[in-house]
Structure 1
């Protein structure tokens, strides 16, 4: 949830008088794509120019990040609205942002480690910050190895969570969110993110003896992209890889390239990690975009999906099976069952209502599919009130 700050008090000229005003402030992050010639010192100078004029626009520059390699800068600013930030930058130096999003400062700190300027590294007039906001994002999900329904995962996972948290912390991972059986973690180092993924796999294999299974998705990116929330695109692909791609640990092509550039032993030599190619990532996103939009539509046909993705029916089958281990029809059925399970856990209706809501033609067919997938009937899960993840 976004955090609205205290009202900002200021004055503006009105005729021959000054008028007091009060506006509710919010925190924003903007993105600047800078030229190849731009240096960290140049960005620090631009930041100082912002600070000189910020009061005229009701803004307060909190800090910034600069990535010399990728030529991007991200400013964290308290302001009444996005337009005030745009006008402040334009007035100060003309370097206007390419994108502005509203953010929660607590979430920013969880991902990036700070919301204020770091201390000066040297005794200079400028506080030159050459620190990328680029992060490797991990989505880790744990679930029971058996299909037995249960009211809570906490008793089952309790013995494993603390060691996993300790591993993540030692690897420099900032835990942004931890729910029952689910972690969202931010890493500065792609190598450490990959290495701790392997450590978690080894630990669970040796200690849980199949009682707990896991999936990990690793992606990498910047906090402000095309969508509206922090690291949204990066989190989405990590979530999707973790959700549907066959394999315990799945990584994007960018994570692989970064890891290979930092290590003599490339990821191709590590059999337990699945590396997606860029075309496969594009297909995954297009496939799930269509599925999320149309999964309730019982009239939707496989040919409609193939047409939407711009491929033949046979190529669609090959691609989906390669990606998920399931045919398109079986994948859609499993997707609907997972959505039904979520509704059952929320007590969002009786079994017949949930069967209808999730696109199954009858309660009996729904119950049959559900039991085949999870090992118990919807009515058993319904009585417990919540089931497995």
Structure 2
């Protein structure tokens, strides 16, 4: 039977105790609707509650809640129990205190989400094995930091980590330690051309999207995509960190904290780029025309945020995707050039060489076999 998570936006008068009472009422009659309540989360501060339920379908959950207490959820999504546990740390009710009749769970489902991307930015013929050795060493360091700061791994690939933290302070300190290890003498990876980008955002599991924490993950990934080589904190993460750590200084050299306006600009840029990047005619003129900025305004904002001009940002985005296609052996060089928006294989090869220090043909020979 599928598992669903629903979201209730709770009024000011409703407390964690009220939510516990509603959960108890659900459990009394759940069998009538073929449901099984697994657990719930309640966040009095943000006025949200989330239920995790085994159910035959979404309608059964609506009917159960309506019959039990009348508080029908505002949103229901299907989820994977293992993924929920990775993000939130549990899929069952915590043990009830022996001194209480109700199992009051005042545990917010609000989490700080971290995305780590390891990006290869240069290649040397014959350095594939030294690179692999160094990256394995560095990934062990990353895993050690995650454990130290109580992070949970949701997804892990060779060049990507998706993590969840209950504590915003732990998330920020973990990011700082990971970044500092990259630049330490004992772990220096500069000769292998590794660029580390870390994005942190915070949010709740169920929004208008179809997947758990989807909005938050997308935003953290976009931070990595648009601002390379730094730890990027959303405005909310930075505000929460500062509220928990008065007068605690962070290393600002590797840190970028965003304003709400900058976050909106990132979404504008990425929404449009993701839609148009494969179009060979897509350039900075399209950016300024469709985003409502003059060319000079757009240039200044892009340089300030990404250190790249609009055209260089587009080219870099295309090359990053081209590298992934070649790595997967998904297409040959000519097909890759046209698929990623370059108007000729020759120009693609020149841009690839300028950016990565190796021709795409040499890359395919040395790094994809």
Same fold (TM over 0.5): yes
Residue equivalent to 1:124 = 100
User: How much has 1:384 moved relative to structure 2?
Assistant: 3.2
In structure 2, the partner of 1:355 is 337
SS class of match (1:127): coil
SS of equivalent residue, structure 2 residue 201: strand
1:189 to 145, 161, 167: 167
Q: Distance in 2 between matches of 1:188 and 1:135?
A: 5
RMSD of equivalent CA atoms: 1.9
1:68 alignment counterpart: 44
Q: Per the alignment, in what secondary structure is the counterpart of residue 117 of structure 1? A: coil
Cα gap change, 1:68/1:324 in structure 2, threshold over 3 Å: closer, same or farther?
Answer: same
* Paired residues for 1:215-226 under 5 Å: 215-226=197-208
- The match for 1:19 is none
Residue-by-residue CA offset, 1:138-162 (whole Å, 9 max, x unaligned) = 1112245753366686433122222
Match of 2:280 in 1: 298
Deviations 1:354-377 (Å, cap 9, x if unpaired)? 111112111111100111111101
The reply to whether residue 162 of structure 1 matches residue 140 of structure 2 is yes
The aligned counterpart of 1:136 is 112
CA distance in 1, matches of 2:78, 2:72: 16
What CA deviation, in whole Å up to 9, does each residue of 1:178-232 have, x standing for no partner?
2113211111111111111111222222122334542111111111112110111
Check conservation: 2:37, 2:51, Cα contact below 8 A: yes
Superposed displacement of residue 267, structure 1 = 6.3
- 1:208 paired with 2:187, answer yes
More strand by share: 1
Q: How far apart in 2 are the matches of 1:217 and 1:386?
A: 28
Of 139, 149, 157, the match for 1:171? 149
**C-alpha separation in 1, matches of 2:368 and 2:155:** 21
1:247-286 alignment, distance < 5 Å: 247-265=229-247, 270-286=252-268
What is the CA-CA distance between 1:280 and the residue it aligns to? 0.6
Picking from 208, 213, 229, the partner of 1:231 is 213
Contact 1:267 1:273 in 2 (8 A): no
TM-score after normalising by structure 1: 0.88
Q: 2: distance between equivalents of 1:308 and 1:84?
A: 44
**Cα distance in 1 for residues equivalent to 2:362 and 2:183:** 30
Cα distance, 1:120–1:83 mapped onto 2, change above 3 Å = same
State the match for 1:54 in structure 2: 30
Shift in Å at residue 100 of structure 1?
A: 0.9
Distance 1:58 1:173 in 2: 35
Separation in structure 1 between the aligned mates of residue 42 and residue 167 of structure 2, nearest angstrom: 16
Does residue 91 in structure 1 map to residue 91 in structure 2?
no
